[in-house]
Amino acid sequence: MLFNSVGYLLFLPVTVALYYLLPGRWRCVFLLAASYFFYLIWRVEFVLVLISATLVSYFVALKMGQIPKKKQRLKYLVFSLVINLGMLVFFKYLGFFTDIVNQIAGITGGSSVIPYYSILLPIGISFYTFQTIGYTLDVYRGVLKPEKNIGIYALFVSFFPLVLGGPIERGRRLIPQFHINHDFDPALITGGLRLILWGMFKKIVIADRLSIYVQPVFNEPGYFNGIAIVLVVMLKMMQVYADFSGYTDIAIGSARLMGIKLNPNFNRPFSAQSISAFWSRWHISLTSWLRDYVYFSLPFKYHGKIVKWRMNLNLVITFVLVGFWHGPYWNFLIFGLLHGFYMIMANISRPFMSDFNRISGLTKAPRLLQGLNITATFLLVCFSAFFFGQHQLRDSFMMIGNLTDFSHPGKVIIPLLKNNDFLLGILLIIFMLWFEYLIAKKSFALKFLNKPLYLRFTAYLIMVFFLLVFGVFSSQNFFYLQF
C-alpha cells in the first residue's frame, strides 16, 4: 500500500478514527494489527521476515538486560547481529557477493560457479533491520532498558508510517511514546494533515513530474550529452529529494495524527555550505545512525594517539557503508566512496581554504562566500548523482564521458524553453525551496497559524487544487522503497 495511493487515503483516516475510539489499553494492540495488515498487503512472506527480526532482537535484549556485566552481554549481541545482518545480507546482498565470486572464478580460470536464484527483497528490510540493531546496541551499552512488553516492541519495529522507508527511529525515543495514552488534539491533527498534504505535493506534483525528464537520460545515456546531462543530473537530485522528503513528511504527518512524534529526516540540505553540513541535513536518521553506531565505534588511535589518518579512514568506511546500504550495486559503492573522498579533502584543505578566503577578501563578503560554498557543495553532490541509482556502472561513466560534449546545445535548450511542462517543473522546484525556507522560519509558521481560519483553509484548498490539476498520477513507487 503506497502512501500516494487511494488505498492509503482510505486506510489512514479509518485507522486514526478507530485508534481514538478504542480504550487506551487497546490502542497499541490495534496499531500493531493495523501495521501488520499494512505490511501484509505487500506479501505474506515479508511479514515472516519482519516477525523473525522482531523476535530475535526482543529476546536477545531481554537476556542482555538480565546480565549486569557488559562483557558477558557481548555473545548475545553478536548472536543478534549475526541473525539480523544475516537476513539483510541474504535477501539484499547475496546476489552481489555471489556475482563477485563467480567473476573472480572466471578470471582465474576456475570451473566452479556458485548458483544463485533471484530472491525477492522484503520491502523496508534495510530500515527496520537498522532499527532493531540500534535497539540491541543501546541495550548492550546500557543506555536503554529492554522493553518487556512484546506487543509494544513489535509495534516499535513495524509501526506502519515508518516500516517501509523510515525514518530510522531509536528505541529510547519512540518506545516510551507507545506507553502514553494520547488524547485527541486538534492541533496535532491539523499539523499532521498539513505535513501529509505537503508531502503528497512534493511527491506527486514535483518528484513524479521531474522523473519524466530524468529517467529517459539514465535509461538511454548514449543518446544524450552536454547540457542535457548537466540539467538532468541536477534535476535528479531535486527529484530524489522531493520524492524521499515527501515520503518522510507523509510518514511524520501520519504518525502525528495519533500523537506520535517521529524524528525529522531532512533539513533543507541544498542550503548546506559543505559536504559535512549536507549529510547533517540529508537522510538524517541514516547518517546519525551510522555516526553513532559505526563511526564512533571504529578506532581513532594509533600507538595510543588520535591520528588524522585514522579519522579519515573511518570517514571512508562510514560513507562506503552509506553507499552500500542503498543497494548491492557498484554505483552505490562509488557514490559512498566519492562522498568519503569529499569529506577527506575538506579536512585536508580546510586551513588552505581559510587562508585563501582571508587573502582574497571573501571573509569580508560573507554573503558572497556563503553563496559560493552552497553552490560548490550542490555541484559536488550533483556530480555524485551520476552513481546514485541501480543503472549499470558503465552507463554512469558513459554520461560522464558525454558531459563535455556541448555540440549543438540549442537542440536541447530551445525545445525545453518551449516546453511549458518543463518550465513548470523548474518553477515548482524554486517554489519548494522557497517555501521550505519560509517553513524553517518560526516567525512565518506563527504568522500563518494566527491567520483567520478562512485564509488558512483557502491556502489548503489552493494546495489541493494544484495537487489535483498538476499532479502526475501514475502511482509511481517512492524512490527509497527499493532500499
Q: What is the pLDDT along the chain (483 residues), one digit of tens a residue?
A: 788 888 899 999 999 999 999 988 899 999 999 999 999 988 888 899 999 999 999 999 999 999 988 888 999 999 999 999 999 988 888 877 777 777 777 776 665 566 665 677 888 899 999 999 999 999 999 999 999 999 999 999 999 999 998 899 999 999 999 999 888 998 899 889 999 999 999 999 999 989 888 888 888 877 777 788 888 899 999 999 999 999 999 999 999 999 999 999 999 999 999 999 999 999 999 999 999 999 888 877 666 666 787 888 889 999 999 998 988 889 999 999 999 999 999 988 888 988 888 888 888 888 999 999 999 999 999 999 999 888 888 888 888 888 877 776 655 666 666 677 788 888 999 999 998 888 887 777 777 777 788 888 888 888 888 888 888 887 577 877 766
Residues 325 and 376 in one domain: yes
Identify whether the C-beta of residue 272 lies closer than 8 Å to the C-beta of residue 281.
yes
Residue where a domain stops, chosen among 153, 183, 213: 183
Domain carrying residue 396: 188-482
Q: Which residue numbers are catalytic?
A: 326
Residues 320 and 469 in one domain: yes
Residues 135 and 211 in one domain: no
State the Cα–Cα distance between residues 375 and 381, nearest whole angstrom: 10
Total count of domains within the chain: 2
Rounded to two decimals, the pTM is 0.91
Between the alpha carbon of residue 205 and those of residues 9, 340, 428, the distances in Å are 17, 33, 8
Q: How many CB atoms lie within 10 A of CB 164?
A: 22
Task: Tell whether 1 is covered by a domain.
Answer: no
Q: In sequence order, what E strands does 289-420 have?
A: 301-302, 305-306
Residues 178 and 197 in one domain: no
Residues 223 and 106 in one domain: no
Residues 166 and 255 in one domain: no
